[in-house]
A and B are shown apart, each in its own frame.
Chain A
Amino acid sequence: MLLIECPYCGKRHETEFRYGGEAHIVRPEKPEDLNDTEWADFLFMRTNTKGVFAERWYHANGCRQWFNALRHTVSHQIIAVYKMGEKPPVSDQGSEDR
C-alpha cells in the first residue's frame, strides 16, 4: 500500500485516496471544434508509461482536494507531488532510470 503525500494534509495511506488517472489532460475549450478522432483521443487514449508517470490523486477521505503526483510505475517511488494547475517540478517524465 502506497504512502502518498497529500500536498495539503501530509503523508497518508493510499486507503484515503482515489486514483484519478493520467494528469495534464486538459478538457478541450470547445469540444465541438474537435473531430471524432480527436475527441476519442481525449476521451479514451492514455499513455501507458513504464517509468516516471504524471498522474492525479484525490484525497477522498481527507481534505477532498485533487493533486498531481509523479510516480515511477515500476518501483512505485513517488518523486514529487504538486498542486492542480502547477507544472511537474522535475522533467524526467517517462524516464525509467530511477
Chain B
Amino acid sequence: MLNRTSNGGKIDREKRVNFVFNGLSYAGFEGDTLASALLANGVHLVGRSFKYHRPRGFVAAGAEEPGAMVQLEEGAQTQPNIRATQIELYEGLKASSVNVWPSVDFDISAVNGLFAKFMTAGFYNKTFMWPRSFWMKLYEPVIRRAAGWGRAPTVSDPDIYDRMQCHADVLVIGGGPTGLAAALEAGRAGARVVLVDEQKELGGSLLSLNREIDGKTAIEWIEQAKAELAEMPDVRILTRTMLFGYYDHNYLVALEQKTDHLPLKDRSGKVRQRVWHFRAKQVVLATGAHERPLVFADNDRPGIMLSGSVLTYLNRYGVFPGKNIVLFTNNDSAYETALALHAERLKIVAVIDVRNDVTGELPDKVRELGIQVLEGHAITATNGRKRVSSVEVRAIDPGADKYTGHSINFECDLVAMSGGWSPVIHLFSQSQGKLKYDDDRVCYVPEKSVQEQQIAGSCSGEFLTEDCLNNGGVAGRIAAKKAGFSPKKEHEPLTVQEPEMGKMEPFWVVPGNVPVGEGSAKHFVDLQNDTTAADIALAIREGFESSEHVKRYTLTGFGTDQGKTSNINALGILAGILDKPLADVGTTTFRPPYTPVSYGALAGRNLGNWSDPVRVTAIHDWHQKNGALFENVGQWHRPWYYPKTAEKMQDALNRECLAVRNSIGVLDASTLGKIDIKGPDAAEFLNRVYTNAWMKLGVGKVRYGLMCHEDGMVFDDGTTARLADDHFLMTTTSGNAAAVLDWLEEYLQTEWPDLKVYCTSVTEQWATVSVAGPKARKLLQKIAPDMDLRPDSFPFMSFKEGEVAGIDARVFRISFTGELTYEINVPWHAGRAMWDAVMEAGAEFEITPYGTETMHVLRAEKGFIIVGQETDGTQTPQDLGMDWIVSKKKPDFIGKRSFTRSDTAADNRKQLVGLLTDNPDDVLPEGAQLVLDQYASKPMPMVGHVTSSYYSATLGHSIALAVVRGGLGKTGDTIFAPLANTTITAKIVSPIFYDPKGERQDGEV
C-alpha cells in the first residue's frame, strides 16, 4: 500500500482485507472504505462522468461524494452506483467502474467530450424532440447506454429486507460531536433516545480532526460518551443507519445496513437491510456540514479533492491521496489540512488563497513552516489526463471576466480545495423548514422549523467543535424537556482545544485566461450531472432565471446526489450573473431520499404473497386440493373454476354451468360481506340506505336491495334478512364489505345519531355453502331431515334456522343463478365440515363445485348485475333498468334527490341492455366499445361498451351485457363492436336471457 502513513487512523493494520477492483487484486485494512483502500493503493481513476465520459476520481470521503460510484459485486447481488466512499471494505469485495466501455482507461464514449460544445444545458430537451417516433427506437436506447450509470441486476434480489417501527422521545440524527452531546443530555434527562448515524462508528468529524476535549483526545471522549450511553436502558444507538426521509409530524425513515460490511459468505439468511420508521416527539438535527468545492477550469480531474476529505483520509484512514500537494481555498480550514499533511512529511507545493491579507493562527503557522502562500491568487487551469499533474495559477483581477496576468505553473499530484462549508440542511428542508441565507457564514442555515425539532452544531452554521458540543448538549436538553422530561443538573459546557478560524470570502467561479464558457475548459458545478458554470449562464440567457428552473434545465442538484456539494455554488453563480444578492435567489427544495435506497429495502417483507393480504375462506384448502384455479376478488382468493385434468377453461365452465342448470352445483359463498344490524330503528335505517321499502318486511323473510350514494349512483347491492322486529342481517358484495359498514357507520354517527341502531361485522363469523340446482332440495333434505323444505313452508326469499348435518345453521333461500338455491350458513370454523357433508350427500346427484366464473355466467343469463362490473359509479338504478326497486313512496332515502337532477334524469344516459351477436359463437370482448354506424369516420362516435360477455352452454350461444346510450329504447336495433381486425355485429335485446318468468326457482318438487 503505497500511500499509507506509518501509524494512526481508525484502521486495524493487523488485519489485511483483500479485494478486487476492475479485475485487479488489491489489499486494504479493516476499517477502510473502498475509497480509502483504493487511494492507499494509488488508484484515483474510478469512473467516467455522466455526460462527457471524462475521467473522474474521488472528491470527498463520505455521502457527499458526487462521483466515484461503482458497480458492487456481480450477478444477483450486484448493485449499481454505490459510492465507493460509503462502502466498508470486506474480504473478497468485488467492484468495477460504471459508465465505462470498454474500460475506465479507454472509454469510447469519451468522444462525447469532443462534441461537448453541442451538449450544453437543455441538450436533451432541444435535440431529441423530433421526430417523435425516433424516441423509442433510437434516442432512448442510445442515451440509456451512453449516459446511464451502473447496471441493474437482471435476476431477482436474493437478500432479505425488513422494517422496524420505533417510537422515540428524542431522535438524534448524526453521531458527531453535536449529536453525541445531544444524546447524552437527553438520555441523562431520562428520555427514550434514539441516536442514528450513517457511519459504522460514532464520532463524525471528531474522527477526522485532532481535537482535545476537556483535556482528553477526541477518540477518548467518544469512547467515554459511548460508554455512558450504553448504560442508559432507554437509549438505542443505530450505526450504519442513514436517515433518508423526514416526513410530517416527525415521521422519519432510515436505512440500516446490517450485513453490507460482511463478506458475502457470512450474509446468507440474515436481514441485509432494515428500514427504520421513527415517530419522534422531538428531533435533534445534528447532521453536520459538507465542504464545498471551488469552481475553476477543469476542476474535475482525478486528484482534485475537497480539503477536509483529504484530512479525513489522512487522520481517519492513514491514507495520503497525494505527495505533492497544492491547496486552493477561500477560508482557513485548508491550512489545517496543509499542516497535517506537512506533519506527514508530504510536500506542500503551495497554498493558493483567493483572499488578500490572510492572517490568523493557521495561516501564520503554515507560513512559519516555510510553505508558499499565494494570496489573491486562483487556479485558472489544470492539466493531466487521468490524474492532475499540474495547475496554472494567476493573480485575481477583481471584476474581470478573465484573468490574463502572468501564469505560474505548479506541478502536483493532488489539489485539496475548500470553498467553505454548507450545513447539511437536506433533512431540515424535507421537514418543510424555512431556510435563510447567512451572509456572514456564506451558507444557507435553518431559519424556521415547522415541526418539533432542534437544530444544532454545524447543521445550524456553527462550525467550531466546541460550539457543536455545547449547542448539541443544549439542544438535547431542550428536546428532552419538550418531550416531557426534566434534565436534572445544570448544563456543563465543554472546552475544546482548536484553532481559530478566520473569515471566509465567497468566491463562486474562477475564470481562466478566457471568460467562462469560451475555450475548451469546463468549470464543473455538479460533478454528478456534468453541469458547468457555462450551462447555468446559458440557462439564464435562455430565460430560465428562477433557481427551480435552472435546476431543471441544467440538472444541477438532480440524481442520487441531490446537490450536496453543488447546490450553493450553482446558486452563487446564478446570483452573480443576475447581479442579485444570493439571499434573493432562493434555494431549491431538497427531497427524499437523502441518499439512494433500493426498492428491495422499501418493499421489505411485503413481497409475493405478502404484497397484499391474501384472504381465504374456511374451505380454501379443499379448493386447492381439488384443482381450483383462483381469482382475486378484492383481497379474497376465490375459486375461479375447477378444471378437470386436461380440461380447457371453456369446457370446465360449460360443465359447471350445465350441472347447476340440470342437477346441483355448489359454491363457496363465504366471502360475501355480512353485517348484523340491530336496534329499534333498524328498519327505518334500512329504509333510508336502500332504495326500496323495508318497514313491512316480515320476520323470517329476505329482500334484495340496492344502495346508492347521495349522487344517485349505485354503490352496492345484496340481500337482507329480518331476523326479528329490531334485527336484520345484511349481505354486501365480497369486495365492498368494509366500505359498506364504514358507510353505514358514517350515516349513523354523523347524520342520524338519533337513530337507535348498532352495526356489527359478522362476515367471518359465518361460512356459506351455496347449493344451487333443481335437485338442491333433495340434497338438503338428506342432511336436514327435520327442516320443512316444502316451497310453501320455505318459500323463495326466506330463511330457516335448524340443524344441517348436525351443525347449527341458518339457511337462506335466495338465488343468484335463477335455480333453486339454499345458502347454508354455519359458524366459520365449521364451514369445511358443512362443505364435506354437502359433497358427500351430493355424490348421488353428481354435485359439481363451481367457481366465480360460472357464477358470473349463470347470473348474466338471468340478467343480474354485478356491482363493479355492470356499474362503475356512474349508473343509477334506472340506468340499470331497475326502476322497479326504487320506491316512489318513501319521502327520502340516500340518492333519491339526485334522480331528478337534470343530468341524472336525462333519457340518453348509458343504460343496461343485453346483446346477442349475429354469429352465436362470437364472444364479445368485455370492455369493447360499441358504435351505431360501423362505417362512421374515425374517431367513431362511441355509444357504450360491453360490461359482461360469456359463452352460455345452457343457451348454446354467446350472451353479453352492455351499457348503451338510450339503450332501453333501442331494443331490436343493431349495434357494432369494431375490434382490431374485425367488427362484430350484435342485436340489442333484453338483458334477461334465461327463464324470464322465474319458473325455475322452486326446482324439482
- Show the binding face of A for B, using Cβ within 8 Å: 1-3, 13, 18, 20, 26-27, 30-32, 34, 36, 39-40, 42-43, 56, 58, 60, 64-66, 75-77, 84-85
Cβ of B248 and Cβ of A64 under 8 Å apart?
Answer: no
Contact call A32/B742, Cβ cutoff below 8 A: no
CB–CB B746/A2 < 8 A: no
Q: Is the CB of B750 within 8 A of A1?
A: no
A93 to chain B, nearest CB (A): 18
Determine, out of B326-334, B512-520, B889-897, the stretch whose residues face the partner at the interface.
B889-897
Given the known A-B contacts A32-B892, A75-B450, A76-B249, are A40 and B901 also in contact in the complex, defined by CB atoms under 8 Å?
yes
Interface residues of B in 891-916 (CB under 8 A from A): 891-892, 896-898, 900-902
4 closest cross-chain pairs (CB), A and B? A31-B897, A3-B249, A66-B749, A1-B251
- Does B215 have its Cβ within 8 Å of any Cβ on chain A? no
Q: Is B751 an interface residue (CB 8 A)?
A: yes
Query: Are A60's CB and B742's CB within 8 A?
Result: yes
Residues of A within 8 A of B279 (CB): 3, 13
A31, B750: Cα distance in complex, Å = 17
Chain B minimum-CB-distance residue to A61: B738
Does A43 lie within 8 Å of B750, measured CB to CB?
A: no
Greatest chain A CB density within 10 A among B248, B250, B432, B900 is at: B248
Is the CB–CB distance between A58 and B897 below 8 Å? no
Q: Compute how far the CA of A39 lies from the CA of B897 in the bound complex, rounded to whole angstroms.
A: 8
A11 and B985 CA atoms in complex are apart in Å by 60
Q: Is the CB of A66 within 8 A of B750?
A: yes
> What distance in Å separates the Cβ of A43 from its nearest Cβ neighbour in chain B?
6
- A75 vs B742: C-alpha distance when bound (angstroms): 29
Do A31 and B251 touch (CB < 8 A)?
Answer: no
With CB as the reference atom, state the residue of chain B lying closest to A60. Answer: B742
Please determine whether B742 and A84 come into contact, CB atoms closer than 8 angstroms: no
Fill in one digit per residue for B860-897: 1 if any A CB lies within 8 Å of its CB, else 0. Answer: 00000000000000000000000000000001100011
Shortest CB-to-CB span from A94 to chain B, Å, is: 19
Q: Report whether A85 and B753 are in contact in the complex, using a CB–CB cutoff of 8 Å.
A: yes
List 16 additional contacts besides A2-B249, A32-B897; criterion CB under 8 Å. A2-B248, A18-B742, A26-B751, A27-B710, A34-B897, A39-B901, A40-B901, A43-B710, A58-B742, A66-B745, A66-B749, A75-B450, A76-B248, A76-B249, A77-B450, A84-B753
A1 CA / B251 CA spacing, docked (Å)? 6
Chain B residues close to A by CB (< 8 Å): 247-251, 279, 432, 450, 710-711, 738, 742, 745-746, 749-751, 753, 891-892, 896-898, 900-902
* Contact pick for A36, options B432, B450, B902, CB 8 Å: B902
Q: In the complex, how many angstroms separate the beta carbon of A50 from the nearest chain B beta carbon?
A: 14
- Complex-state Cα separation, A58 to B189, whole angstroms: 37
Interfacial chain A residues near B750, Cβ < 8 Å: 56, 66, 84
In the complex with contacts A65-B749, A75-B432, A85-B753, A31-B892 CB distance below 8 A: yes
Give the nearest-CB partner of B761 in chain A: A64
Q: For residue B251, which residues in chain A have a CB less than 8 angstroms away from its CB? A: 1, 3
* A58-B746 contact in complex given A1-B247, A76-B249, A85-B753, C-beta closer than 8 Å: yes
Q: Chain A residues near B902 (CB, 8 Å)?
A: 36
Q: Can you offer 17 A-B residue contacts whose CB atoms are under 8 A?
A: A1-B249, A1-B251, A2-B248, A3-B249, A3-B250, A30-B891, A32-B891, A36-B901, A39-B897, A40-B901, A42-B710, A58-B742, A58-B745, A60-B742, A75-B432, A75-B450, A85-B753
Question: Which residues of chain B are within 8 angstroms of A13 by Cβ–Cβ distance?
Answer: 279
A2 to B710, CA, bound (A): 29
A43 touches B249 (CB 8 A): no
Alpha-carbon distance A43/B749, docked complex (angstroms) = 19
| Cross-chain contact A43 with B891 (CB below 8 angstroms) | no
Residue on B nearest A29 in the bound complex, by CB? B892
CB-CB under 8 A from A66, the residues of chain B are: 745-746, 749-750
A75: B residues at CB distance < 8 A: 432, 450
Q: Which residue of B lies closest to A66 (CB)?
A: B749
Residue on B nearest A3 in the bound complex, by CB:
B249
Nearest to A18 among chain B residues (CB) is B742
CA–CA, A3 and B451, complex, Å = 12
Q: Which residues of B have CB within 8 Å of A65?
A: 749
Report Cα–Cα, A75/B711, bound state, in Å. 33
- Chain A residues whose CB sits within 8 angstroms of the CB of B900 once the complex forms: 36
Contacts of B247 in A (CB 8 A): 1
Which residues from B are CB-within-8-Å of A43? Answer: 710-711, 898
Closest to A23 in B: B750
Closest approach, in angstroms, between the C-beta of A52 and any C-beta of chain B? 15
Inter-chain CA distance A32–B11, complex, in Å, is: 82
The minimal Cβ–Cβ distance linking B740 to chain A, given in whole angstroms, is 13
The answer to whether B745 and A64 have CB atoms under 8 Å apart is: yes
**Docked CA distance A9–B400 (Å):** 68
Nearest residue (CB) in A for B432 is: A75
Instruction: Determine the chain B residues whose CB is within 8 A of the CB of A56 once the complex forms.
Output: 750
**A31 and B896 form a contact (CB under 8 A):** yes
Instruction: Give Cα A1 to B711, complex, Å.
Output: 31
Q: With A1-B248, A1-B249 in contact, do A84 and B749 touch (Cβ < 8 Å)?
A: yes
Residues of A within 8 A of B898 (CB): 39, 43
User: How far, in whole Å, are A43 and B745 apart by their CA atoms in the complex?
Assistant: 19
8 Å CB contact of A20 from B746, B751, B753, B891? B746
Nearest CB on B from A2, distance (A): 5
Question: Of residues A31, A42, A43, which shows the largest number of chain B Cβ atoms within 10 Å of its Cβ?
Answer: A31
Collect the chain B residues with CB atoms within 8 Å of residue A31's CB: 892, 896-897
How many whole Å from A86's CB to the nearest CB in chain B?
Answer: 12
Q: Are A30 and B249 in contact (CB under 8 A)?
A: no
Measured in the bound complex, the distance between the Cα atoms of B751 and A85 in whole Å is 9
CB within 8 Å for A30 and B745 given contacts A3-B251, A36-B901: no
A4 to B900, CA, bound (A): 40
Q: Are B248 and A27 in contact (CB under 8 A)?
A: no
- Measured between alpha carbons, how far is A34 from B897 in the docked complex, in Å? 9
Residues in chain A near residue B749, CB distance under 8 A: 65-66, 84
- Kindly provide the distance from the CB of A30 to the nearest chain B CB, expressed in whole angstroms: 7
Q: State the CA gap A56–B750 with chains docked (Å).
A: 10
A26–B742 CA distance with the chains assembled, in angstroms = 18
Chain A contacts for B432, CB-based, 8 A: 75
Residues of B within 8 A of A60 (CB): 738, 742
In the complex, A85 Cα to B750 Cα: how many Å? Answer: 7
Q: How far is the CA of A58 from the CA of B749 in the complex (A)?
A: 10
Q: Identify the closest chain A residue to B893 (Cβ).
A: A31
How far, in Å, is B162 (CB) from chain A's closest CB? Answer: 17
Q: Which residues of A contact B751 (CB under 8 A)?
A: 26-27
Residues of the A chain whose Cβ atoms lie less than 8 Å from the Cβ of B753: 84-85
Do A30 and B248 have beta carbons less than 8 Å apart?
A: no
Give the Cβ gap from B737 to chain A, nearest Cβ, in Å.
13
Which residues of chain B have C-beta atoms less than 8 A from A40's C-beta? 901
Rounded to whole angstroms, the CA-CA distance of A26 and B738 in the bound complex is: 24
In the complex, are the beta carbons of B892 and A30 less than 8 A apart? yes
CB distance from B869 to the nearest CB of A (A): 25
Q: How far is the CB of B699 from chain A (nearest CB, A)?
A: 28
Rounded to whole angstroms, the CA-CA distance of A9 and B928 in the bound complex is 49
How far, in whole Å, are A76 and B738 apart by their CA atoms in the complex?
A: 28
CA separation between A42 and B901, bound complex, in Å?
Answer: 13
Q: Which residues of B contact A2 (CB under 8 A)?
A: 248-249
CA–CA, A64 and B247, complex, Å? 26
* A30 CA to B893 CA, complexed, in Å: 10
Please measure, in the bound complex, the distance between the C-alpha atom of A15 and the C-alpha atom of B975, giving whole angstroms.
47
CB distance from B511 to the nearest CB of A (A): 43
Instruction: Write the chain A residue with the least CB distance to B711.
Output: A43
**B747 → A minimal CB distance (Å):** 8
Complex Cα distance, B934 from A5, in Å, reads 59
Nearest chain B CB to A16's CB is how many angstroms away?
13
Q: Which residue of chain B has the shortest Cβ distance to A32 in the bound complex?
A: B897
CB-nearest residue of chain A relative to B165? Answer: A13
Determine the chain A residues whose CB is within 8 A of the CB of B896 once the complex forms: 31-32
CB distance from A78 to the nearest CB of B (A): 8
Residues of B within 8 A of A18 (CB): 742
Q: Which residues of B contact A36 (CB under 8 A)?
A: 900-902
Report the Cα distance A63→B251, complex, angstroms.
Answer: 23
Nearest CB of chain A from residue B398's CB, rounded to whole Å:
44
How far in angstroms is the closest Cβ of chain B from A21? 11
